Structure 1
Amino acid sequence: MKVYLDDERTTPDGWTRTYWPEDTIALLKTGEVTHLSLDHDLGNDEHGTGYDVVLWIEEAVMTTGFIPPQEMRVHSANSSARQKMEAGIQSILRHLQKT
């Protein structure tokens, strides 16, 4: 399953759309997500951002052995948030290479 977290953009063909971090995390917990594309700003930062998903994956990988999607990317236009999210993804990948 390919999951696309975004509040405004058009969902690419073949992708499952989510609007909030908890919806994305629920799908990740199924173990069926192969590709993940994340936006940061989802219209209500108090409800969460795409970075919350990265943090959840990072913690799950390091504490429970969670296997993340084979492809994770960020499509946010927020450049500073994009860098932070991409750094989190790189941290996840470095941890996986060590194990």
Structure 2
Amino acid sequence: MKNLFLDDKRVAPDGYVLVKSVRQCIEYLERNAVARLSLDYNLGKNKPKGYRVALYMVRRKKFPPHITIHSNSPRGRMKMYRLLARHKPKGVSLEIRPLPTPLK
């Protein structure tokens, strides 16, 4: 199983595959078994938010065993956390761990 990191600006941590858009993330989740998923909320101006990936998982009932929300957006990360916490199976771990803002 792979680890997946959704972010438009940050570099993926060692051991993670980087995807930069909601579309790429959902396509990857559909085609691969994912052990750990790390989600950002803001993915660029006028781009779909990471929340769409959370909605996809809820609607498809498809959750990796470990989910981390690493967004620095307080509102966005809580929106994703609340949705996933309500719908995830009991065995799925869910955590919030904001990362430093990337340098421009």
TM-score w.r.t. the length of structure 1 is 0.83
Unaligned runs of 5+ in 2: 91-104
RMSD over equivalenced CA pairs, Å = 1.2
1:29 corresponds in structure 2 to 30
Retained in 2: the 8 A contact 1:40–1:49?
yes
* Match in the other structure for 2:60: 60
- What's the secondary structure of 2:34's corresponding residue? coil
Matches of 2:64 and 2:19 in 1, distance apart?
Answer: 16
**What is the identity, as a one-letter code, of the residue corresponding to 1:37?**
S
Cα distance in 2 for partners of 1:54, 1:11 equals: 19
- Determine which structure has the larger helix proportion and give its number: 1
Aligned length: 89
Residue 3 (structure 1) aligns with = 4
1:31 shift after superposition: 4.2
Tell me, yes or no, if the aligned pair for 2:11 and 2:18 is still in contact at 8 Å. Answer: no
Residue 13 of structure 1 is matched in structure 2 by: 14
Provide Cα deviations, 1:33-74, integer angstroms capped at 9, x if missing partner: 111000000113x3311100000101111xxxx3x1000110
Aligned amino acid, residue 53 of structure 1: V
Runs of 4+ aligned structure 1 residues displaced above 2 Å come to none
Aligned pairs (5 A) from 1:38-53: 38-44=39-45, 46-53=46-53
In structure 2, what residue type is equivalent to 1:59? R
Q: Is there any run of 5+ residues in structure 1 with no aligned partner, and where?
A: none
Identity of aligned residues (%): 29
- Structure 2 length-normalised TM: 0.80
Q: Is the Cα–Cα contact under 8 Å of residues 42 and 50 in structure 1 kept in the other structure?
A: yes
